Structure 1
Amino acid sequence: MEEYDYTDPEFFNTSSDSRQEHNRFLQFSKFFLPCMYMVVFVCGLVGNSLVLVIYIFYQKLKSMTDLFLMNLPLADLVFVCTLPFWTYASIHEWVFGTSMCKILLGTYTLNFYTSMLILTCITVDRFLAVVQATKAYNQQAKRMIWAKVICLSMWVISLLVSLPQIIYGNVSIHDKLICDYKDEKISTVVLATQMALGFFLPLFTMIICYSVIIKTLLHARGFQKHKSLKIIFLVVAVFLLTQTPFNLMKLIRSTSWEYHAMTSFHYAIIVTEAIAYLRACLNPVLYVFVGLKFRKNFWKLVKDIGCLPYLGVSSQWKFSEDTSKISSASHNVEATSMLQM
């Protein structure tokens, strides 16, 4: 999270960008960023909280995927809880002090990269579950121990990556108070490390693992195969569409300083940044709601809180539950491992 002082007249090269265009950008950023932050906050808070409730009270942690999916909404939930602070700061100024600046910068970075590492682990786990289904099933107990070690390691690694934001985060005064992170001596190393963990590692893992998964599923039998392929393509497509633009902008910003004087470039920065944050809203849908087991537990929760009669879906829920039982009995191992999480 980097907060630029766009009101600083020296921030832009006014010889190439008119003052009128600069003022339009200021109005756009003051409206667009708070709106996007709050949309991601509300949707991410509701979706990830719902996932956590279901996993805590309804779904037993029987596999590595279950444990990873338990940590994913936790990381995303803490991530979205930092957004109200940035929303207020983007509208007014930073009023929360230096200590909160360091904590929130570190928390933001910690949970952002934890969630990306968890997505990488989920990809590898699905790869093993599909390609080596029998071996993975026979080593379930050992895999659960490794899953706990991996989850703890991911949080520790993300904390280490977040240390520069915690150490060098500070409140600076321009036309207003701004919480930002600036240390030119190590910024290039930090950027390279964070982009490797937050973008390139998940991207390469998805490309390699899902390519093999698709090849395996194409040779599998069963009517669920095509649904599995659709889920895979959806996961990869959403990751690329939300994460690629912002990471490209960060690369350009770190290597081509002349773009800092262009108003159009800063339009691209704030828009792609907001799109990247949508990942926290979409993760519950992509990685949990597509699972038959989770949908079954979701309807149990709805039934327990007494919403089914008002929604008029009691018969549909029973039919869906029966269908899930029939279909799960007829799948082969390869198809089931992608859907019945």
Structure 2
Amino acid sequence: MTSFSDLHMLLSVVLIWFINFKSCLCQDDDKEDTTPLYPDYNLTFSMDYSSFPQLCVKASNRKFRFWFMSIFYSIICFLGLVGNLLVILTFLYFKRLKTMTDVYLLNLSFADLLFALTLPFWTANSVAKWVLGIFVCKAMNTIYKVSFYSSMFLLSFISVDRYFAISKAVSAHRHRSRAMFLSKVSSVIIWVVALIFSIPEMTYTNINNNTCTPYSSSSDPLRVSLQASQIVWAFFLPLLVMSFCYSSIVHTLCQARNFERNKAIKVILAVVAVFLVCQLPYNLVLFWNTIETAKGGTKDCDYENRLLYATDVTQCVAFLRCCLNPFVYAFVGVKFRHDLLKLLKDFGCMSQERFFRYTCGRRRSSGNTDTETTTTFSP
């Protein structure tokens, strides 16, 4: 018992001595070496962050899209649905498919109607996360591209038909019996070609960063090829065709002595002006955006945000075409306006007195104008 107590006391003394000895050594080391074990990196060198990519903040653009696209897409969608439905109902109710232009206008209204139906999905995709799944995503982009290409091609074919009907009236009258058949066949070909041009949207469209898009990033090489083909086939080609046809038509009308000549020329100028005002700004911005994408994108955040603003605004202006086409190509015609008013009267949307007030005393065009130029070029 005594020996165990002595041993315990001896161990305690040794432990105390060891602790005191270690503290002395630590004090001596502190006096001799004041360098810290871990150096202060903030004092020895500065980190260069210039090589690291900086995230471009687009909060202001998202706020702008939220109110701008929501308002304008809703207006365009409503006007596009109403206008194109009236055109379709008038054509089908009165069975007035008598010329090639009538067939093309009916198909144009169907294309613009399909396009207007996609606008609510475009709004949801632009201002919020995409939550409708991959199938709706692919369907929306495909329908948009099919309706977009078909409407551009149909506008070109309308100008070609007007060119033959007015500038080449003799040859057009000679082949008049085959005109309806050719118009139906060409309309089917237009829809098939538009569907072929929309295959990339069917293939590559996916949900990236909660957004329905065929592109993986702003510098995706696929974006360059798709945007370049859209500019060439859906803007420059229709612009060249319409420019040639309508300039020839204006030249022919200037040589004629018809009292409807000046009014027809004004309608042609309105048709070209609407096309240029709606499509030219957007395609210029799209062309510049394609060049920037081909260069690998931009690192200037302010410049990128300005480009996004320009794209959003000009795209909304371009989308106006789906609600302006019925007024420019259909409602300007005397016969079509008369049929539209009669349709509203038959459906109970207009009284008999108001219908006669709008139609009685109105000067009707000549037979040739009614059959060939009323739909597009007569006031």
**SS of alignment partner, residue 319 of structure 1:** coil
Q: Are residue 110 (structure 1) and residue 143 (structure 2) matched?
A: no
Per-residue displacement from partner, 1:203-259 (whole Å, max 9, x unpaired)? Answer: 111111111111100001121000010001101111111101111111111112328
CA positional deviation for 1:49: 0.5
Are the equivalent residues in 1 in contact too, given 2:342–2:355 (CA < 8 A)?
A: no
Are the equivalent residues in 1 in contact too, given 2:334–2:375 (CA < 8 A)?
A: no
What is the aligned counterpart of 2:328 among 276, 286, 292? 286
**SS of alignment partner, residue 360 of structure 2:** helix
What is the aligned counterpart of 1:179 among 182, 191, 212? 212
Are the equivalent residues in 2 in contact too, given 1:79–1:111 (CA < 8 A)?
A: yes
- Corresponding letter in the other structure for 2:213: D
> Corresponding residue for 1:190?
226
> Corresponding residue for 1:66?
102
Are the equivalent residues in 1 in contact too, given 2:228–2:290 (CA < 8 A)?
A: no
Q: Are residue 170 (structure 1) and residue 170 (structure 2) matched?
A: no
Are the equivalent residues in 2 in contact too, given 1:110–1:158 (CA < 8 A)?
A: yes
**SS of alignment partner, residue 115 of structure 1:** helix
**SS of alignment partner, residue 312 of structure 1:** helix
What is the aligned counterpart of 1:138 among 163, 166, 174? 174
For 1:75 and 1:282, the matched residues in 2 are separated by 13
5+ residue gaps, structure 2, are: 1-52
Per-residue displacement from partner, 1:282-304 (whole Å, max 9, x unpaired)? Answer: 00000001111211111110221
**SS of alignment partner, residue 223 of structure 1:** coil
Q: Considering only CA atoms, is the larger Rg found in Structure 1 or Structure 2?
A: 2
Aligned length: 318
For 1:144 and 1:188, the matched residues in 2 are separated by 39
Higher relative contact order (CA 8 A, sep 6+): 1
> Corresponding residue for 1:56?
92
CA positional deviation for 1:333: 9.1
What is the aligned counterpart of 1:258 among 287, 291, 298? 298
**SS of alignment partner, residue 257 of structure 2:** coil
CA 1:193–1:89 in structure 2 vs 1: closer, same or farther (change >3 Å)? closer
For 1:329 and 1:265, the matched residues in 2 are separated by 51
Identical amino acids, percent of aligned pairs: 37
CA 1:28–1:102 in structure 2 vs 1: closer, same or farther (change >3 Å)? same
CA 1:243–1:331 in structure 2 vs 1: closer, same or farther (change >3 Å)? closer
> Corresponding residue for 2:271?
235
What is the aligned counterpart of 2:341 among 286, 290, 299? 299
**SS of alignment partner, residue 60 of structure 1:** coil
For 1:164 and 1:299, the matched residues in 2 are separated by 43
Q: Are residue 267 (structure 1) and residue 309 (structure 2) matched?
A: yes
TM-score of the aligned structures, taking structure 2 as reference length? 0.78
- Corresponding letter in the other structure for 2:338: K
- Corresponding letter in the other structure for 2:262: H
Structure 1 stretches of 4+ with a deviation exceeding 4 A read 329-338
For 2:347 and 2:186, the matched residues in 1 are separated by 35
Q: Are residue 124 (structure 1) and residue 148 (structure 2) matched?
A: no
Are the equivalent residues in 1 in contact too, given 2:115–2:143 (CA < 8 A)?
A: yes
CA positional deviation for 1:159: 0.6
Are the equivalent residues in 1 in contact too, given 2:330–2:376 (CA < 8 A)?
A: no
CA 1:42–1:317 in structure 2 vs 1: closer, same or farther (change >3 Å)? same
Are the equivalent residues in 1 in contact too, given 2:329–2:376 (CA < 8 A)?
A: no
CA 1:333–1:281 in structure 2 vs 1: closer, same or farther (change >3 Å)? closer
CA 1:337–1:81 in structure 2 vs 1: closer, same or farther (change >3 Å)? closer
**SS of alignment partner, residue 258 of structure 2:** coil
- Corresponding letter in the other structure for 1:258: T
- Corresponding letter in the other structure for 2:91: Y
TM-score of the aligned structures, taking structure 1 as reference length? 0.87
- Corresponding letter in the other structure for 1:178: T
Q: Are residue 312 (structure 1) and residue 354 (structure 2) matched?
A: yes
5+ residue gaps, structure 1, are: 1-8, 15-21
Alignment of 1:204-215 (within 5 A): 204-215=240-251
> Corresponding residue for 2:6?
none
Are the equivalent residues in 1 in contact too, given 2:114–2:147 (CA < 8 A)?
A: yes
